[in-house]
Structure 1
């Protein structure tokens, strides 16, 4: 070690152990101190900093600062001292640490002017802004956080004023990155006072002017770590600034460049997000109809290619959720501005697409059974919710109806990022093992729907655009007959506001949607189930006026049609349409047969099937469920005895008690025309997609729990009708894209054409009476007409509404009869 190296080591040691005496030490060794020594100390400091040895860098910068000062090189000393405090900033952990650094480094501003080191002013203001930002991130108190964010804005404004002449790329990129981040923060803060909002707008206008002047329009990160998402997010945020505070042409160009970056990277998800934001901002600040239409047109094909890129069920559901939330505003524009055919197509692209995928194309299975089970468990974990941690004081029926009115999202606002990572892991495993969906299902056209409808049929497809805070902000209906169509918005103004509207989630449990329409339908269902007929009838009349009357007044008198196919959306899946009551005192079901379908395309797919005559009947009822500690269903046994009289012309297979096993079902179900279950069901709320189940007698080979995921694997292509004489058997919950979850969609995947099930609990005896009446008409009238005749018989006998409106038909409603 030579003398100079020894001196530097001594300087660095004292800089760490006794910094207050460092200058004295240098003066004592002044004859050995030189400009070259200072430069070498600075070079060592820069190297240690770039190598992330921050302790060594701190000592070296302090040493270099003092050497330059002793020699009278104030400008060089100031640079090293700034670097010293930048290292201290990097070592901060607490808000107080960041604020202390900010205060210390701000004291350098005056010295910069004294020594004409103007280039440092921009950097000092940036570090001040960054220090205040990280202090805000670590601060818990909302008011302190808001104050610090405004401080960040002020510091960035000052940095912007001094940006000219600072051509070191890394500093420009760090500055742009912080501006982009702070825009997202302050724009999501809804609690700023009016004076604070005014200050925010003034400062952002100053920042925008500086950025448009100094930062190139086609900005990309070159020096600091970044990815495609960060680059596109930055360009999008800078575009927002230009639209709101600067030159909209610059904003439009930045959006265009961001979209091209996403296209080059073949990332359709980021591209869709950019187009969505571009459309939103263009509509708010410029409202150029030609530009808006161009943006709308560009999304259609991309939606499909984006969806096609996902191979797993979870991925496709997540994709739909992403599209719904990202493109909600574009969809609302389309509803108001486009032709009926285009509106129909875009709505169909967002309805029950995963069910349609299973029906049209079927996913490739995993070759390794163990791998398949592991990945299946990961998907179930991703899609399920936590069970309630404590018993609620809310009555069980109210609690259930509240859940029923709520969409099942993938995760909540609090864990969505974590769930997205889980989804990406699952998707990668599907790709690795070459499994899952290889294509995406095709939606039908309005013209094809019209050709599939008979002259006496009408289809009503309802749609509620997604909204981040209002579960049912708008209601639209597409009315389709064999000859004409119409898109109609149904006003919801008459509904009583529940006092709070929004989407809530607690402790990872299912989100709870609260809206006027959801509250109304939930309340109606409770009134019907509890038998408060007067209250129920009043609401049924109000609901008729709300939903059916606008359709009639638009020129479509439902009484002129024999059959009405209803494609519900959201909470409308749980509305007892059959019981809607007109002012003349009649119920809707008295005038028209009612069939439900998850989507118009699924209705079309079912209708394309051949219509063989009913030839065989398989029934399983009153199983031995003593293992599950459930009592016998004596009425179910009587139900099957009575039904047998009406199907005596068919080849019948009826299994009761200990013979009503899952094993028998698996053995006998293939090739049967009608399959009837009269038993209990279980509907666990935490795993609705796969674990809703039909309960049968356990056997040596099967546990008796026929889960939805098992139903999907059955081969039931010959079944024109499955009847679930089970409490709540016809209820299916809905996820992203109005995706149906539970038993009903599982039967469609297995090949069934029509499913009948109940939409609330019903006494066994009432269920028996309904089924006896239904089967007395079925083989002569067909599946949908038989439902109507049964309801009319119950109405004629003045039985309670809940007894005859419980069972609904989901499918295509084609008339299967028998010789």
Structure 2
């Protein structure tokens, strides 16, 4: 009788949450005006609905409805980006995906999708109500249509180990040789003077994120896995996670990431429309750097040149029998003019996201009389590109402001500009090692158009020469395979 009463109460709560939460989703899905005016650099209305989404997912899981919970998890992601992508791809706004449509995305990508959802709850701690991490939900969607669900208890992290998932991720990055600072939602990375052995932290993250689903991931190393992170999980270098046998995840799987399943689907549709339209390969390296004020009110300082990036660009250009744009020739105006004709865009320059700069996210190009030399995220999202791939060979280019609506940064702006795939970095990257990795990547890509497989090959090759994961694990493929 008690179980029946509990179930009844849960059902009532479920209905109430659905009534309050789902109509707002539908407003977003059906409001054409919102889709036309939403800025990809701003979080969506769902930023304020995270707790409601969490409660609804939790109730659905308690009622043994993991597929319904997956739909809610997916609906809470990237609505601003999805609105823009759907606006560009068709005359009608795309509605949130059903479970069957999610299965179709896995099938069309021929990949296993792994979606994470961090569930927070209120706890009474020392007489005060506090919101803490409670559980990590993981869905594995196979290309066959099979969906598996796992739940990981996160409470022991703060109850017994005096830490959290976010702290664990931050600490793992520090032991890799990079550190994370959160300032107004922007991730700023610095190199500490002393580096530690990162293996223990990478194994702990593997234990939480991968071990619970390891037995249902594909056995073949060339089978694709697309991770869909949430929150601080966007900072995780999935390729460098280490199992108990000392094997990195990239040694066992071909890995990429995506902002959300629906964004992945819309980007795939865009890719199908632009295939073969653009022919050129645009390679930019070490442009004459512009000046920028490092802090508000300070005099502008010219950024340092990157001779390693120039050689990287020239070596890559030789693979495609083209000329790289370097130095004074790589002006913002010239690069932007050439972008719409390019199927591959490689930008090896200063850039990334930094809240202490006047421009939050941008890429440094040579200034001219027509421009200031800064290609900002705001300028990028207004472009209409036909490139199949943009590679941002610079610092922090996969990062940005982490919100409930995903990462708002350079990669998101290129997605809004209709690029289906972006390769960006999770921290500040070293010149020599990055050049080696990029050349290996393009040599493989010129033989086989599988971007994720080419990046895996490049990482494994770089790992042999430069074993520290800081030197080979920074880059991640985001979007369509």
Q: TM-score, normalised by structure 1?
A: 0.50
Work out whether residues 695 and 706 of structure 1, in 8 Å CA contact, stay in contact via their aligned partners in 2: yes
1:321 paired to 2:47: yes
- Paired residue for 1:463, among 108, 117, 120? 117
1:681–1:726 Cα contact (<8 Å) kept: yes
Q: What is the rounded CA distance, in whole Å, between the counterparts of 1:701 and 1:709 in structure 2? A: 17
Q: Among 287, 290, 298, which residue is 1:623 paired with?
A: 287
Whole-Å Cα distance in 2 between the matches of residues 471 and 756 of structure 1? 33
SS of 1:583's partner is coil
Answer whether contact 1:552 1:558 (CA < 8 A) is retained.
no
Choose the corresponding residue for 1:643, options 311, 316, 331: 316
Matched with 1:809 is: 477
**CA-to-aligned-CA distance 1:719-771 (integer Å, 9 cap, x gap):** 11101111111213222x33321101000000111111111112222221111
Any idea what SS the aligned residue of 2:368 has?
Answer: coil
**2:465 is aligned with 1:797:** yes
Instruction: Name the larger-Rg structure.
Output: 1
Q: Is the 8 A contact 2:138 2:151 kept in 1?
A: yes
Aligned-partner Cα distance in 1 for 2:464–2:23: 53
Instruction: Name 1:658's counterpart in structure 2.
Output: 328
Size of the aligned set, in residue pairs, is 436
Asked if the contact 1:324–1:466 (Cα under 8 Å) also holds between the matched residues in 2, the reply is no
Q: Look up the SS of the partner of 1:453 in the other structure.
A: helix
1:711 aligns with 2:380: yes
Question: 376, 387, 406: which one pairs with 1:739?
Answer: 406
Displacement of 1:590 in angstroms is 1.0
Gaps of 5+ in 2: 123-129, 179-191, 292-300
Contact 2:177 2:196 in 1 (8 A): no
Question: What displacement does 1:540 show?
Answer: 1.3
In the TM superposition, 1:533-572 aligns within 5 A as 535-553=197-215, 555-557=216-218, 559=220, 562-572=223-233
Give distance in 2, aligned partners of 1:729 and 1:573. Answer: 12
Give how far 1:601 is off.
0.7
How far, CA to CA, are the matches of 1:583 and 1:633 in structure 2?
Answer: 39
Q: CA RMSD in A?
A: 3.1
Whether contact under 8 Å (2:74, 2:260) holds in the other structure is yes
Residues 772 and 288 (structure 1), Cα distance of their counterparts in 2 relative to 1, 3 Å cut: same
Change beyond 3 A, Cα 1:685–1:323: same
Structure number with greater CO (CA < 8 Å, separation at least 6) is: 2
Match of 1:478 in 2: 139
Deviates more, 1:756-765 or 1:324-333: 324-333
* Structure 1 residue 603: Cα displacement: 1.1
TM-score normalised to structure 2 length: 0.82
Answer yes or no: is the 8 Å Cα contact 1:595–1:784 preserved in 2: yes
- The answer for the alignment partner of 1:242 in structure 2 is none
Which position in structure 2 is the counterpart of 1:448?
A: 101
Match of 2:126 in 1: none
Pairing 1:495-514 to 2, within 5 Å after superposition: 495=157
Find 1:523's aligned residue among 171, 175, 182: 171
State which of 238, 246, 260 in structure 2 corresponds to 1:585: 246
SS at match of 1:728: coil
Which consecutive segments of 4 or more residues in structure 1 shift more than 6 A?
Answer: 283-286, 531-534
- Aligned to 1:472, what secondary structure does the other structure show? strand
- Segments of structure 1 that go 5 or more residues without pairing to the other structure are 1-282, 364-437, 501-514, 814-819
Distance 1:680 1:626 in 2: 10
Q: Is the 8 A contact 1:762 1:803 kept in 2?
A: yes
* Local SS of the residue matching 1:644: helix
Any conservation in 2 of the 1:341–1:445 contact (CA below 8 Å)?
no
Q: Distance in 2 between matches of 1:338 and 1:440?
A: 31
Task: Determine the C-alpha separation between the residues in 2 that align with 1:320 and 1:284.
Answer: 32
State the 1:496 CA deviation. Answer: 5.5
SS at match of 1:444: coil
User: Could you tell me which residue of structure 2 aligns to residue 612 of structure 1?
Assistant: 275
Aligned residue runs from structure 1 range 84-163, under 5 A: none
| Distance in 1 separating the partners of 2:432 and 2:14 | 58
Distance 1:780 1:601 in 2: 30
Q: Displacement of 1:714 after TM fit?
A: 0.9
Question: Contact 1:355–1:740 (CA<8 Å) still a contact in 2?
Answer: no
Residue 769 in structure 1 maps to residue 423 in structure 2: no
Output the CA distance in 1 between the equivalents of 2:160 and 2:303. Answer: 39
| Alignment-derived partner of residue 23 in structure 2 | 302
Closer/same/farther in 2, CA of residues 357 and 731 from structure 1, 3 Å limit: same
1:778–1:786 contact (8 Å) kept in structure 2: yes
Q: Deviations over 1:679-719 (max 9, x none)?
A: 1115232799x830101111111111111010001111x21
Contact 2:424–2:477 (8 Å) recurs in 1: yes
Residue 583 of structure 1 and its aligned partner are, at CA, apart by: 2.1
* 2:366 is equivalent to residue 697 of structure 1: yes
Match of 1:345 among 71, 76, 80: 71
- 2:351 corresponds, among 657, 665, 681, to 681
Deviation per CA, 1:775-798: give whole Å up to 9, x if none: 111122321111100111122335
Kept in 2, the 8 Å contact 1:533–1:801? The answer is: no
Alignment check: 8 A CA contact 2:362 2:410 kept? yes
Q: Supply the distance in 1 between the matched residues of 2:196 and 2:286 (Cα, whole angstroms).
A: 35
**Post-superposition offset of 1:440:** 5.6
Instruction: Assess if the C-alpha contact under 8 Å between 2:279 and 2:341 holds in 1.
Output: no
Q: Secondary structure at the match of 1:664?
A: helix
Does the alignment pair 1:751 with 2:449?
no
Q: Shift of the alpha carbon at 1:342?
A: 1.5
Structure 1 residues 667 and 538: alpha-carbon distance in aligned structure 2, compared to 1, 3 A threshold:
same
Cα pair distance change 1:724/1:686, threshold 3 Å: same
Matched residue, 2:189: none
CA contact (8 A) 1:529 1:760 kept: no
Matches of 1:786 and 1:604, distance apart in 2: 22
Contact 1:753–1:811 at 8 Å: present in 2 too? yes
What SS does structure 2 have at the residue aligned with 1:752?
coil
Distance 1:665 1:497 in 2: 52
**Residue in structure 2 matching 1:780, options 420, 429, 447:** 447
